[in-house]
Amino acid sequence: MPSRRVRIAVLTALLVALCGCSAEPPGTVSSASPDTDGASLATETPSLTPTPDPTLSPEPIAVPSCAELLSIEQVRVTLNDDRVEGPAPLDAIEPPSVLGPAARQTFETAIDAVGCSYGIPYSDGGFYVIVLAVDGASASELVSALKASDEYEQTARGDIAMFSKGVPEGIGTYLGYALDENVWAIVQGTMVSSTTSVNIAADAVTAVLG
């Protein structure tokens, strides 16, 4: 009997020990059970990180053709001369020899350019118009350089800065500039004056910018 009681006592102790290992106190969470609700919540929650707006690059200026730039009627009114004919596209668009260092650098870095000529047939009367799409920073630097120069007469039409000077070489011509934003117009010839050269140049700038 004593041995049987011992065996029963040992068996009872083992059962209690096993029950104690497998039982868990109330309120505890088993580490073996995944928190499926929490995982689901984490995966379903959308990201709140704001998406930055893409940087918008300004569209490049497209200089229209000679036929669309200035009408012959507009040029005739500005010059007060019905004999003027044109426009005819220039065979080559090159920096005029009268350009200063700042103007030449801006010319050579132009993005787009159109050149047109006007004149009175069978005469020495004529002029050309060159319109360039340039970098805005370069245009601003050129305006500053022209304002600092004492060679040019300065005026303006709204936001368009205008500069002109006489060029006494040969039979003599006038040179006119007009600049606004990133458009630069150059006018030079024997048929234009300090006033009409910049007015035609400003008309060309306005035609490009609309």
pLDDT of residue 16: 39
Strand order, beta sheet including 126-133: 85-89, 112-119, 126-133, 183-189, 173-180, 160-167, 153-157
pTM for the whole structure: 0.73
Give the pLDDT of the chain (210 residues) as one tens digit per residue: 444 443 434 334 433 343 444 444 444 434 444 444 444 434 454 445 555 454 444 566 899 999 999 999 999 999 999 999 999 999 999 999 999 999 999 999 999 999 999 999 999 999 999 999 999 999 999 999 999 999 999 999 999 999 999 998 778 899 999 999 999 999 999 999 999 999 999 999 999 998
pLDDT of residue 184: 99
Residue 132 tokens, joined: 């360039």
Beta-bridge partner residues of 185: 131, 178
Residue of 115, 107, 161 lying closest to 134 (CA atoms) = 107
pLDDT of residue 152: 97
The interaxial angle of helices 72-79 and 194-209, nearest 10 deg, is 150
pLDDT of residue 172: 86
- Runs of H (alpha helix) within the chain: 2-22, 36-44, 66-69, 72-79, 101-108, 136-148, 194-209
Distance CA 105, CA 186 (A): 14
Q: Which domains does the chain have, with CATH numbers?
A: 66-209 (3.40.1000.70)
Other beta carbons within 10 angstroms of residue 72's beta carbon come to 14
Q: Under a CB-based contact definition with an 8 Å cutoff, are residues 178 and 205 in contact?
A: yes
Q: Under a CB-based contact definition with an 8 Å cutoff, are residues 201 and 115 in contact?
A: no
